[in-house]
Structure 1
Amino acid sequence: MIFSRKRAGDGRHARDVRAAEVLDSDDAGEAPTGLVRGPYDISEAPDGVQRLDLGSLHIPAVPEVEVRVQADPEGVIQQVVLVHGDSALQLGVFAAPRSEGIWDEVREEIRQSLFADGATAQEAEGEYGTELHARVRTPDGLTDLRFVGVDGPRWMVRGVFQGVAATNPAAAGLLAQCLDGLVVDRGHEAKPVREPLPLRLPREVAEQAGDDAAPAPAPREA
């Protein structure tokens, strides 16, 4: 995994359904404990996996996937993007209420915002539940985006696929593997609903804030 630094939204139900589908297809007939696929809450994350600790998000170390972040001089991360081949996955994590998920509402707000900007957007069912597929105009021309959301206990992960993985989910490959292995550390502090959860550079990287780029810290086993 390459770590480079540059200066500088019902997912929970869907997750349970995806886990159940894997369990139903288990020929052994014995259901393993815990969730089969993530994103995981830190309380239920599998042990023995190398992950890059960015605070609220712990990203699994997957070979050939580049982790790009934009951070301020204090090391507070503004954006996280995973890149593999011709595809990218932008990640965000937000506070949510204890009682229910927020992806349905967030997805509708994204759809309305896209329409207001003159972009086309439509919902579709995918392996993460209801997704939003959009085509937006950028300085480089028309770009396809695929928004996915997963609600967890008091948090929501939003992923935005770009490139080939936006139009062909089967091509997500290692990026989907990263999303499935993602771990969220929500913390115990009360936070407003939809507030982004804090993301920070690893200490050893933040200490080199004066550099244009910093090398990757060795992922640690959780």
Structure 2
Amino acid sequence: MAVFGRRKKGADAAQDAATSEEVEPTTPADDASTDVDDLDAGDLDADAVDLDEPSAEDDEAARRRRSKLRPREEVDLSDGPYDSASAPTRDEMDFGSLRLVPTADIELRLDVDETSQTLTGMTAVFGEAGTSAVQLQVFAAPKTTGVWYGIRREIAEAIVAGGGTAEEVDGPLGTELHVRMPSQGPDGRTTFSPARFVGVDGPRWFLRAVLSGDAATDDGAAARAMEFVRTVVVHRGSDPRAPRELLELTLPPELMAQAQASAQEHEQHTDAPTVGPLERGPEIAETR
């Protein structure tokens, strides 16, 4: 598995379209899919809930939340993706809330928030010319209900409102959302980027995978993407989290050390600016 410090911008148009801010899950403060009654003490920080007397607007918001509540889909996860409490013992790369099995045919790009310089997700790129990609993000979820039902409805509504299309399709990990997202091409014409949103409601976590490029339209590439998704291990942790809060990702110590060493060597031998630990850095090739 080749690991780079930052996902490309510009060249990966399909990936960028599939993970645009317009279709991101809402933040905890705007959560529209989970009722407070559905949470236990470990699911939500105390200051995340307004305990004032409910108004008519609050009642309407609660009604909308209830309309998007659904039990978790009954999906067989015995072959992954896994919860860390029941995952098999394997050689893995530990990114905190996500653990991945290295494979030789996948290049892993880390999605970094430009402002906070924190990891927000990972994008696995594969195929002979890097024409397929799958982005992974993991979020906190309630104890007794799933969030995928509500999230995919919101994604579909946003895409359709923007002139695209969205269709629910049965997939190997439950209901998927297959979309065509509109964007303006260089000549001013509207083009459409296909993507497949896959959601997995686990025990107090939600894993979202977005397949783009060939993986969104080609059955063989999609199967390889899903094979990778099934190797993922999610480590939720015991800290209280609001529903849909992004779970923390961290760089494995061995990658951080190598990135820092490379930056120091680069600084000693050139006058170019130093490459930081989360900038695009050295390729780390691991074969099994």
TM-score class normalised by the smaller sequence: 0.7 to 0.9
**Structure-1 separation of matches of 2:72 and 2:6:** 32
Deviation at 1:71, TM superposition (A): 2.6
CA contact (8 A) 2:104 2:285 kept: no
**Deviations 1:119-138 (Å, cap 9, x if unpaired)?**
11111111111111101123
CA gap of 1:115–1:168, structure 2 versus 1, over 3 A, is: same
Q: How is 1:131-210 mapped onto 2 (pairs within 5 angstroms)? A: 131-138=176-183, 141-206=191-256, 208=260, 210=276
CA gap of 1:145–1:120, structure 2 versus 1, over 3 A, is: same
**Structure-2 separation of matches of 1:197 and 1:80:** 12
TM-score normalised to the size of structure 2? 0.63
Aligned mate of 1:80, from 122, 145, 151: 122
CA contact (8 A) 2:176 2:198 kept: yes
CA contact (8 A) 1:204 1:217 kept: no
Aligned mate of 1:13, from 73, 78, 86: 73
Stretch deviating more after TM superposition (132-141 or 144-153): 132-141
**Structure-1 separation of matches of 2:224 and 2:91:** 15
Deviation at 1:168, TM superposition (A): 2.9
CA contact (8 A) 1:94 1:155 kept: yes
TM-score normalised to the size of structure 1? 0.80
Aligned mate of 1:104, from 149, 156, 162: 149
Deviation at 1:59, TM superposition (A): 1.4
Q: Which has the higher helix share?
A: 2
- 2:100 matched to which residue of 1? 59
User: SS of the residue aligned with 2:228?
Assistant: helix
User: SS of the residue aligned with 1:110?
Assistant: helix
Q: Which amino acid aligns with 2:122?
A: V
**Structure-1 separation of matches of 2:118 and 2:169:** 34
Q: Which has the higher strand share?
A: 1
**Structure-2 separation of matches of 1:53 and 1:121:** 34
Unaligned runs of 5+ in 1: 20-34
**Structure-2 separation of matches of 1:113 and 1:75:** 27
- Between the aligned residues of both structures, percent identity stands at 39
CA contact (8 A) 2:3 2:285 kept: no
- 1:26 matched to which residue of 2? none
- The Cα RMSD (Å) is 2.5
**Structure-1 separation of matches of 2:283 and 2:100:** 13
**Structure-2 separation of matches of 1:11 and 1:61:** 33
The count of residues paired between Structure 1 and Structure 2 equals 200
- 1:46 matched to which residue of 2? 88
Q: Which amino acid aligns with 1:129?
A: G
Q: Which amino acid aligns with 2:126?
A: H
Q: How is 1:117-136 mapped onto 2 (pairs within 5 angstroms)? A: 117-136=162-181
**Deviations 1:96-145 (Å, cap 9, x if unpaired)?**
11111111111111111111222111111111111111011235532100
Q: Of the two, which has the highest radius of gyration?
A: 2
User: SS of the residue aligned with 1:50?
Assistant: coil
CA contact (8 A) 1:11 1:149 kept: no
CA gap of 1:72–1:168, structure 2 versus 1, over 3 A, is: closer
Structure with more relative contact order (C-alpha pairs < 8 Å, separation 6 or more): 1
Deviation at 1:213, TM superposition (A): 2.8
Q: Which amino acid aligns with 1:13?
A: E
- 1:22 matched to which residue of 2? none
- 1:30 matched to which residue of 2? none
